[in-house]
Amino acid sequence: MKLKKSFALLLMGAALTGIVGSTTSSADASSNLTVSTFGMSTKQMQKDVLNPFAKAFGVKVKTQFGDSSTRLTQIEHNTNSGVDVVELAQNNAMTGQQKKLFKKIDTSKIKNYKYLSTAQKKIVKQTNSVPYTINSVGIIYNPKKVKINSWNDLWSKKLRNKIAIPDITTTFGPAMLYIAGDHAGKSVTSDNASAAFKAIKELKPNVVKTYTQSSDLTNMFKTGEIDAAVVGDYSVAMIKESNPNVKYLVPKSGTYANYDTVSILKNSKNSAAAYKYINYRLSAKLQKKVASAKSLNNAPVNSSVKLSAEDAKNKTYGSIAKRAKTIDFSYVNSHLSKWIAKWNNIMNN
């Protein structure tokens, strides 16, 4: 879900070794698992997910960290990388499935699969990947400088050269295009995003940066370079830690959701351990643990998990989850290369 250039060097090493870190609890070579996952909150991921899994199941876990799209590209070009399971943003999972990189998921081997919703099970069939958390996009802003109540407020002349939006290539880049289509009153899929791109062009005078890593927003708020940004909810806690006065808003009109998913690679030789890992990822105990802001701040997909008001903050949960709309990533991915060129032509000229 999230491009992190700070992990570029790690990814260069990963291209040569297949891993950038490891967690070991057993010397038994027959019980191994290499997990490719997001390069955000790596220490917390090791502490709260990977280390406990290794200990509980006696599995030697090796780990590759990095942004979703870069790791997918690496796997595509090196199908013998040694990676067993890969965690990706939903659009990348769709691409991976279309390129036949994954093994067919046998849901009978996932005990906690029953706790997924009908919509989430549909994603499993579409992507051959299992969603383990849901996130969505909103607006984070400085209330001392600007008042924002809706997505349409982003187009206000008062925000000239004062907002940042996700680049089209990021997890929520397509969502930004959908939001622009809503502003124009024309859905992206009805006219191949023509009206949406017109709205993006109208928004351009307000955009000081199209970012690829949400960590950039922390300093931009601090220096006053921006007063508002469109951002995934998974980054809110990080931004607020350095800028406690900013507010996060999910407009009443709704938001757009993304699932982070886990898949088993076609060439994995450790399917048994992979299924244990997927089932563990969906377990109520772990889902509740990683939902905490002190952990990974991941909204649960396991329907048996109930969050406290504190843990539910800034997540796609409860009322926000109910008004989260879906993105047709099959449609998006089939048009994305042309959309990227069109986006760059608008934003770079």
What digits encode the pLDDT tens for the residues 301-346? 999 999 999 999 999 999 999 999 999 999 999 999 999 999 999 9
Residue 15 has pLDDT above 60, yes or no: no
Residues 210 and 304 in one domain: no
Domain membership of residue 202 (yes or no) is: yes
Residue-level pLDDT at 124: 97
Q: Which residues lie below 8 Å from residue 163, measured CB to CB, with a gap of 6+?
A: 154, 206, 207, 208, 226, 227, 228, 229, 230
In DSSP notation, 305-316 reads ----TTTTTTSS
Residues 205 and 341 in one domain: yes
Range among 134-143, 233-242, 326-335 rated most confident: 134-143
- In order of 220, 251, 319, the CA distances from 255 in angstroms are 24, 7, 11
Domain membership of residue 322 (yes or no) is: no
Domain membership of residue 20 (yes or no) is: yes
**How many structural domains compose the chain?**
2
Q: Residue 263: helix, strand or coil by DSSP?
A: strand
Host domain of residue 283 = 5-134+259-317
Averaged pLDDT for residues 258-274: 97
Residue 214 has pLDDT above 50, yes or no: yes
Domain membership of residue 343 (yes or no) is: yes
Residues 207 and 218 in one domain: yes
Residues 303 and 273 in one domain: yes
Domain membership of residue 36 (yes or no) is: yes
Residue 292 has pLDDT above 50, yes or no: yes
Residues 161 and 201 in one domain: yes
Residues 202 and 142 in one domain: yes
Residue-level pLDDT at 12: 40
Residues 201 and 331 in one domain: yes
Residue-level pLDDT at 69: 87
Residues 297 and 151 in one domain: no
Averaged pLDDT for residues 101-124: 97
Residues 35 and 128 in one domain: yes
Residues 293 and 249 in one domain: no
Residues 195 and 343 in one domain: yes
Domain membership of residue 282 (yes or no) is: yes
Residue 10 has pLDDT above 70, yes or no: no
Residues 226 and 334 in one domain: yes
Average pLDDT across the chain, whole number: 91
CATH number for position 183: 3.40.190.10
Write down the pTM of the prediction.
Answer: 0.85
